[in-house]
Amino acid sequence: MSNYQDVIKELIKFRDERDWQQFHDSKNLALAISIEAAELNELFLWKKESQSDDVNIDKLKEELADVLSFSFLLAEKHHLDIFQIVLDKIKKNDEKYPVSKAKGTARKYDEL
């Protein structure tokens, strides 16, 4: 099992060996995340909810890896600690969605 820094190093090595850093500005990385997320969504397109867990696991892994890779590169570009920003978001969501109001409901925070 690799740690986050090992993954980042491998992503940067792969990118730099191909001289792709020139294309990895924030806008293009954000667009790449969106495009890869759309490809991830495509795996579930036209499936009934009951079929959604029967996704091709190899394709799921590939598309998820693409989304995560571009996300990691965008975070690295801006010197963001991915674990810290996720923890910060959890804390923010905890304040928006207190258990006493949000448990068992999918309503948005301004509808609680």
Rg over alpha carbons for the chain, rounded to the nearest Å, is 17
Q: What pLDDT is stored for residue 109 in this prediction?
A: 76
Q: Which domains does the chain have, with CATH numbers?
A: 1-80 (1.10.287.1080), 81-112 (no CATH)
Please name the residues in contact with 64: beta carbons below 8 A apart, sequence gap of 6 or more.
Answer: 40
Alpha carbon of 77 to those of 2, 9, 57: distances in Å?
Answer: 20, 13, 30
pTM confidence score: 0.88
pLDDT of residue 74: 98
Question: Average pLDDT of the chain?
Answer: 94
Cα–Cα distance for residue pair 72/47, rounded to 1 Å: 30
Q: Report residues of the chain scoring pLDDT below 50.
A: none
- The pLDDT, as a whole number, for residue 111 is 80
Residue 4, pLDDT score: 87
Q: Which pLDDT score is estimated for 1?
A: 55
